[in-house]
């Protein structure tokens, strides 16, 4: 007890990162590097070569008035040095020196014989994050774009930036949302698709949405968002609401809204989430629409829970699902992206101690981890724009949703980290439901799986692994965009494209690169492709079902999106 209390207090100081885990990663690298004179000599040689390349570049710039050919280019995704000013002295020298240093540290932290692959990836990631702090792009005195703006505006940009900084600081200290969020009001201009709350238990409110067509498909769609996020990401503004769009395509739509747990919910388990989530929702949906099968779709962690539920249903002979859809939902966590870098026994036990004391993992603790994964885009680029350039990015519905955080209960999150991330039990057929393991290979229901190209949370190659796990026809779609913007990709969204291909259950499985080469490339949103897939698995249109369960007055039901979504 004393040990857990001590580590919980330490976790508050370290932001939830285990010092023991960090020390183990560093020592693994340092000890093996110390015992590798060949690697040391190679690094010294590389340092000398990089110094010579930099000197040649500097001399070339001196002789050509700053027009020397660069000796290293930023990575394609690195947009920090896109401004023209970075190609003029002395800023081009700073940029090149930083990129060469970054490249050398990559060489230093990788390829050390004896270092475990997991520790190597974590160390390389950590070194990159540390170096980003010292990027010349983050310093107002070494960033030509900031200096140019400051001179042009006489420093007014820095005054605005200071005001932005203090406003953000005051909001953070007082627990208020970011500036501009107040323009987006849940139930008014976002999450405003008409509907009713037709079922409620301790963990969920189930919303049934009003039909938008005279006839609907007999098989309803049940949307299962992740409880790590507020469900209305699938019902944002009217123009980009997946819920509204699905009703317009002639589907009856139900969606789960998860309750935001508090410390009193610390003992809720993954099994509680399965039973009170998708299983209870399925029962409620069929009470309303009758015996028709259901198209179930899970987003992110909601997709993982749906996979567990579907495997358990297959084991028991429960055939109520007409189809299964995963939006960036993982079932095999062996390549779960950069989130997996620091998931080991030391880190998980450290997080468990922190959650044990709090009862939950807070929204701030989760959002901080996700921001670190994309620090260039979500931290440094934002700070440069808002605090140095004095520009406030316009608040969007997706940004407002992202600021509306949720918590996760202690027991559930501990089981999630251990059973899925740490031990990968679902992919190995070891994840237990009601005391017995479930196998995804038992699932025969047609599957539609969506991956997004730049997903840092659920990398598309990880999502793609469903091909190797379920004995079902799998239609896989890969869209451009990230974990959220790639999913919220309504028809008419500019510059959207996706690849799609169906692999039948008895066909040869392709590796991800071969799939990429074979898949059909389509311009535009993936939503119509998914709706067409759903329609092919649906019956002829019928009259819409009644709103709510038999014997219940629809007018007496609470309006969508319900009350759980408003819980802070």
Work out the pLDDT band at 203, boundaries 50, 70, 90.
very high
Q: What is the pLDDT of residues 317-361, one digit of tens each?
A: 999 999 999 999 999 998 887 777 777 788 888 778 878 778 887
Please report, for residues 227, 366, 481, the alpha-carbon distance to residue 566 in angstroms, rounded to integers and kept in the order given. 14, 19, 28
pLDDT at 380 over 90: no
For residues 152 and 133, give the distance between their C-alpha atoms in angstroms, rounded to a whole number: 27
Q: What is the pLDDT of residues 208-246, one digit of tens each?
A: 999 999 999 999 999 999 998 899 999 999 999 999 999
3-state secondary structure 322-377: EEEEEECCCCCCCCCHHHHHHCCHHHHHHHHHHHHHHCEECHHHHHHHHHHHCHHH
What's the whole-number mean pLDDT along residues 55-78?
A: 86
Q: What is the pLDDT of residues 495-534, one digit of tens each?
A: 999 999 999 999 999 999 999 999 999 999 999 999 999 9
Report the range of poorest mean pLDDT among 295-304, 342-351, 392-401, 457-466.
342-351
Q: What is the pLDDT of residues 270-283, one digit of tens each?
A: 999 999 999 999 99
For residues 319 and 41, give the distance between their C-alpha atoms in angstroms, rounded to a whole number: 63
What's the whole-number mean pLDDT along residues 16-44?
A: 91
Place of tokens 């503004």: 237
Q: Which helix (H) or strand (E) holds 432?
A: strand 432-433
Question: Which residues carry out catalysis?
Answer: 300
Mean pLDDT of the chain: 91
**What residues are paired with 449 via a beta bridge?**
326, 476
Contacting residues for 514 by C-beta, under 8 A, at least 6 apart: none
State the CB neighbour count (10 A cutoff) for residue 562. 24
State the CB neighbour count (10 A cutoff) for residue 69. 9
Report the range of poorest mean pLDDT among 228-232, 255-259, 461-465.
228-232
For residues 119 and 110, give the distance between their C-alpha atoms in angstroms, rounded to a whole number: 10
The length of the chain in residues reads: 568
Q: Which two tokens stand for residue 457?
A: 């949370």
């Amino acid at each position: 007890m004393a040990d857990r209390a001590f580590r919980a207090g330490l976790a508050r100081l370290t932001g939830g990162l285990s010092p023991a885990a960090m020390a183990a990663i560093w020592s693994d690298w340092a000890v093996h590097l110390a015992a590798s004179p060949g690697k040391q000599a190679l690094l010294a040689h590389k340092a000398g070569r990089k110094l010579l390349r930099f000197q040649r570049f500097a001399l070339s710039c001196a002789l050509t008035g700053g027009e020397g050919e660069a000796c290293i280019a930023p990575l394609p995704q690195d947009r920090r040095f896109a401004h023209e000013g970075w190609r003029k002295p002395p800023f081009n020298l700073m940029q090149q020196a930083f990129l060469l240093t970054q490249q050398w540290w990559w060489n230093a932290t990788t390829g050390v014989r004896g270092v475990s692959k997991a520790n190597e990836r974590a160390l390389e990631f950590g070194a990159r994050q540390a170096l980003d702090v010292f990027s010349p792009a983050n310093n107002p005195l070494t960033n030509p774009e900031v200096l140019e703006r400051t001179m042009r505006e006489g420093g007014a940009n820095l005054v605005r930036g200071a005001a932005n900084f203090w406003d953000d600081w005051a909001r953070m200290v007082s627990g208020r949302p970011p500036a501009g969020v107040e323009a987006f009001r849940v139930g008014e201009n976002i999450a405003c698709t008409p509907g009713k709350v037709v079922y409620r238990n301790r963990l969920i409110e189930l919303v049934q949405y009003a039909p938008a067509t005279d006839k609907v498909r007999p098989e309803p769609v049940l949307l299962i968002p992740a409880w790590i996020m507020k469900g209305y990401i699938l019902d944002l503004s009217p123009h980009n609401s997946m819920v509204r769009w699905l009703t317009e395509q002639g589907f009856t739509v139900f969606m789960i809204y998860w309750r935001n747990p508090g410390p009193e919910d610390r003992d809720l388990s993954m099994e509680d989430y399965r039973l009170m989530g998708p299983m209870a929702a399925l029962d409620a949906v069929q009470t309303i629409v009758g015996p028709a099968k259901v198209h179930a779709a899970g987003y992110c962690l909601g997709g993982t829970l749906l996979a567990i539920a579907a495997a358990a249903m297959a084991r028991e002979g429960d055939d109520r699902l007409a189809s299964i859809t995963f939006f960036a939902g993982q079932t095999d966590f062996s390549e779960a992206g950069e989130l997996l870098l620091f998931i080991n026994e030391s880190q998980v036990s450290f997080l468990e101690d922190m959650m044990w004391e709090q009862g939950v993992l807070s929204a701030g603790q989760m959002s901080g981890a996700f921001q670190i994964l994309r620090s260039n885009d979500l931290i440094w680029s934002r700070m440069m724009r808002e605090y140095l350039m004095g520009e406030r990015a316009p608040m969007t519905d997706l940004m407002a949703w992202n600021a509306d955080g949720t918590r996760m209960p202690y027991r559930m999150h501990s089981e999630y980290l251990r059973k899925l991330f740490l031990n990968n039990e679902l992919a190995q057929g070891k994840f237990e439901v009601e005391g017995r393991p479930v196998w995804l290979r038992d699932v025969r229901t047609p599957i539609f799986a969506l991956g997004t190209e730049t997903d840092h949370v659920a990398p598309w190659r990880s999502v793609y692994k469903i091909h190797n796990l379920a004995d079902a026809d799998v239609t896989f779609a890969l869209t451009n965009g990230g974990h959220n913007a790639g999913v919220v990709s309504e028809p008419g969204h500019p510059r959207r494209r996706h690849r799609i291909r169906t692999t039948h259950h008895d066909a040869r499985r392709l590796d991800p690169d071969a799939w990429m080469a074979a898949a059909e490339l389509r311009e535009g949103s993936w939503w119509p492709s998914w709706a067409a897939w759903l329609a092919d698995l649906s019956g002829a249109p019928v009259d819409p079902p009644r709103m709510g369960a038999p014997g219940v007055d629809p007018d007496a039901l609470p309006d969508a999106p319900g009350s759980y979504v408003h819980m802070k």
